[in-house]
């Protein structure tokens, strides 16, 4: 029996590995905000700020007052990810707008014949712009929908499509337990448009072939099931939250994530998280937050997150969330 357990542990995480590389628009899977990254991406049931527009639109209806969130991610190899989101309560609904961009900067063009560069450069620029509508039916339950326009541009090729996020949220009375389900990036396949030149070899020597017919790309649809528990929610000076999340992707194996967040005196925030079943994640993610002094009715929170992958390196994230 004991010998069978390691075998099961190897088979289950590897079950979805055959799906790797079967979808595009991969930038949609990158966490845009520092808080979620520090918590091991376990915020589908407790992101009650502008980041809800990325994780679960149903949480936007639970936010207290208007919110604005700005985030910057220093990604691998000089790639930068930026995000801007805002939400506003209007009547019985909550409306939100969000913008997410990923920019590689200029990169050298290399070929199999000129591996050290051709002297040319190219750039990868991804963009996602969304509109969110959410409604709080009771103080315990809310739902939300986000529609997003998505675009990838690289080396003269552009791919465009639309995706939808769906989410529900439920708070179990005054127990401190919260549950949520979200489906992200449910969309339509799209093929790149444009043309690109490729160097080939024929009997007469090197020649250039122009490619303009490409296969369709599938968005990275993701199913999230999350649970959050406020252990010290009745304590005025201390708050301790535990969160767990099951993530199912259409292009990779399932993973289970855990996160913990401690808030002292509504001022200092410490966070940590871990993603089980994800390649390269051998170290937990860490982060901190600082509640800035209120300016009248305006409150602000500064966040920082650190995460590391074995071969790719370290990612730093910073963010500012403003409550109006």
Distance CA 35, CA 291 (A): 13
Tens digits of residue pLDDT in 269-314: 999 999 998 888 889 999 999 999 888 889 999 999 999 988 889 9
Range(s) of the domain holding residue 87 = 4-323
Question: Looking at residue 202, what is its pLDDT?
Answer: 67
What pairs with residue 131 in β-bridges?
A: 97, 147
Q: CATH number, domain at 309? A: 2.40.160.60
pLDDT of 1 over the 70 cut: no
What pairs with residue 268 in β-bridges?
A: 264, 290
Question: Looking at residue 2, what is its pLDDT?
Answer: 40
Percent helix, percent strand, percent coil in the chain, to nearest 5: 10, 55, 30
Question: Looking at residue 155, what is its pLDDT?
Answer: 85
Tens digits of residue pLDDT in 142-184: 999 999 999 999 988 999 999 999 999 999 998 999 999 999 9
Tell me the residue ranges of DSSP E strands in 121-250.
Answer: 121-136, 141-154, 157-172, 177-187, 196-202, 205-211, 222-230, 238-249
**Mean local confidence (pLDDT), 64-90:** 95
Give residue for tokens 């805002």: 86
Tens digits of residue pLDDT in 194-250: 998 777 766 666 677 888 889 999 999 999 999 999 988 666 788 999 999 999 999
Question: Looking at residue 255, what is its pLDDT?
Answer: 92
What's the number of domains the chain is made of? 1
**Mean local confidence (pLDDT), 245-263:** 94
Question: Looking at residue 284, what is its pLDDT?
Answer: 96
Secondary structure class of 282 (helix, strand, coil): coil
Question: Looking at residue 111, what is its pLDDT?
Answer: 79
**Mean local confidence (pLDDT), 69-94:** 95
Tens digits of residue pLDDT in 87-141: 999 989 999 999 999 999 999 888 777 888 888 888 999 999 999 999 999 999 9
Question: Looking at residue 118, what is its pLDDT?
Answer: 86
Q: Assign 14 a pLDDT band (cuts: 50, 70, 90).
A: very low
**Mean local confidence (pLDDT), 4-8:** 39
Question: Looking at residue 296, what is its pLDDT?
Answer: 82
Question: Looking at residue 280, what is its pLDDT?
Answer: 83
Is the separation of the CB atoms in 296 and 324 below 8 Å?
no
Within 8 A by CB and 6+ apart from 147, the residues are 130, 131, 162, 163, 164
Question: Looking at residue 208, what is its pLDDT?
Answer: 77
Question: Looking at residue 259, what is its pLDDT?
Answer: 98
């Amino acid at each position: 029996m004991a010998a069978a357990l390691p075998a099961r542990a190897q088979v289950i995480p590897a079950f979805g590995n055959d799906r790797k590389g079967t979808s595009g628009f991969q930038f949609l899977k990158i966490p845009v905000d520092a808080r979620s990254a520090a918590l091991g991406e376990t915020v589908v049931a407790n992101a009650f700020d502008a980041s809800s527009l990325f994780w679960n639109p149903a949480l936007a209806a639970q936010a207290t007052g208007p919110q604005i969130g700005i985030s910057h991610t220093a990604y691998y190899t000089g790639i930068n990810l930026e995000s801007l989101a805002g939400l506003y309560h209007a009547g019985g609904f909550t409306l939100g707008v969000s913008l997410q961009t990923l920019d590689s900067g200029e990169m050298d063009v290399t070929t199999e014949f000129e591996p050290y560069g051709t002297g040319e450069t190219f750039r990868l620029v991804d963009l996602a712009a969304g509109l969110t509508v959410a409604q709080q039916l009771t103080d315990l339950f809310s739902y939300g929908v986000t529609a997003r326009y998505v675009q990838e541009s690289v080396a003269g090729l552009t791919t465009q499509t639309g995706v939808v996020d769906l989410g529900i949220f439920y708070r179990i009375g005054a127990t401190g337990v919260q549950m949520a389900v979200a489906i992200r990036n449910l969309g339509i396949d799209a093929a790149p448009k444009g043309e690109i030149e490729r160097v080939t070899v024929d009997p007469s020597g090197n020649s250039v072939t122009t490619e303009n017919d490409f296969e369709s790309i599938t968005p990275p649809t993701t199913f999230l099931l999350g649970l959050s528990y406020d252990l010290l929610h009745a304590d005025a000076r201390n708050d301790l939250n535990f969160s767990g999340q099951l993530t199912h992707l259409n292009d990779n194996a399932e993973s289970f994530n855990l996160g913990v967040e401690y808030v002292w005196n509504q001022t200092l925030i410490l966070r940590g998280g871990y993603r089980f079943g994800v390649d390269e994640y051998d170290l937990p993610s860490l982060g901190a937050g600082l509640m800035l002094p209120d300016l009248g009715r305006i409150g602000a929170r500064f966040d920082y997150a650190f995460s590391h992958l074995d071969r790719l390196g370290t990612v730093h994230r910073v963010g500012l969330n403003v409550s109006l």
